Structure 1
């Protein structure tokens, strides 16, 4: 039940904060299921009026284990670390996760990743990955191609 206390605390903080370009949306499924709408305003690759939606689901082992995070919706942002099925290749969503991180830090990291993007493309192995990808991106054994994007 410690994860529920942590999520309640995070929820209160997120709903009280105003972070430019991020809108945190709790769902009716419980405190462990969130949507985050992300707007990217200073990158010509992305329309600043369009919000990309993240789905975040924290399991019973949160914050020891990272939550499941992926983009959902009709438009998945083009980025060399974002697959066309919405999965995100980012170390803090897997082996690089620590309990000091939070829903907020994940959203800020992904927003920053998109903000700094200079390549309007998918990962080089997008087609192969999505043809065999698990439903939950946490079940993927990520191979990090390029940390410079």
Structure 2
């Protein structure tokens, strides 16, 4: 790993474990600087009230210059939220995870953005191309070419 990723991740991990985790977010796993798992709950009144989701963050050696790969975990314990920007395989269509990524962003700010995205949702539905995308999607959503055209859901 390049020298910057471990330094940055050490700083973020310390913040997350020392009580600076955003409300509704909990660090579940951080055994290394490659993969972290966090729980995410939307606070307040929303379509997702009372539901808890899990996010997997995968970090490249170029982090924070390169965005992390962030997906909702889909397994026996967790499901991806039904949302117009979340595919049933857990991939997330969010511009901050793609072309609008900035090194000033971090794990906490991604979690807050996803909480906000879920909290503002007006209708539970999958993206219109969910079935096709899930059948043909690359393993990493970072290799997908999402079209970011709707931030109003």
Scaled by the length of structure 1, the TM-score of the pair is 0.93
1:125 to 129, 132, 138: 129
CA distance in 2, matches of 1:124, 1:85: 14
Q: For this pair of structures, how many residues does the alignment match?
A: 147
Residue 21 of structure 1 corresponds to 24
CA distance in 1, matches of 2:21, 2:109: 14
Say which SS state the counterpart of residue 84 (structure 1) adopts: coil
Asked if structure 1 preserves the Cα contact closer than 8 Å seen for 2:91 and 2:141, the reply is yes
Q: CA deviation at 1:2?
A: 1.3
Residue 52 of structure 1 corresponds to 53
- Give RMSD over aligned pairs: 1.3
Asked if structure 2 preserves the Cα contact closer than 8 Å seen for 1:11 and 1:31, the reply is no
Q: CA deviation at 1:43?
A: 3.6
Unmatched tracts of structure 1, length 5 or more = none
Q: CA deviation at 1:84?
A: 0.4
Say which SS state the counterpart of residue 143 (structure 1) adopts: coil
Unmatched tracts of structure 2, length 5 or more = none
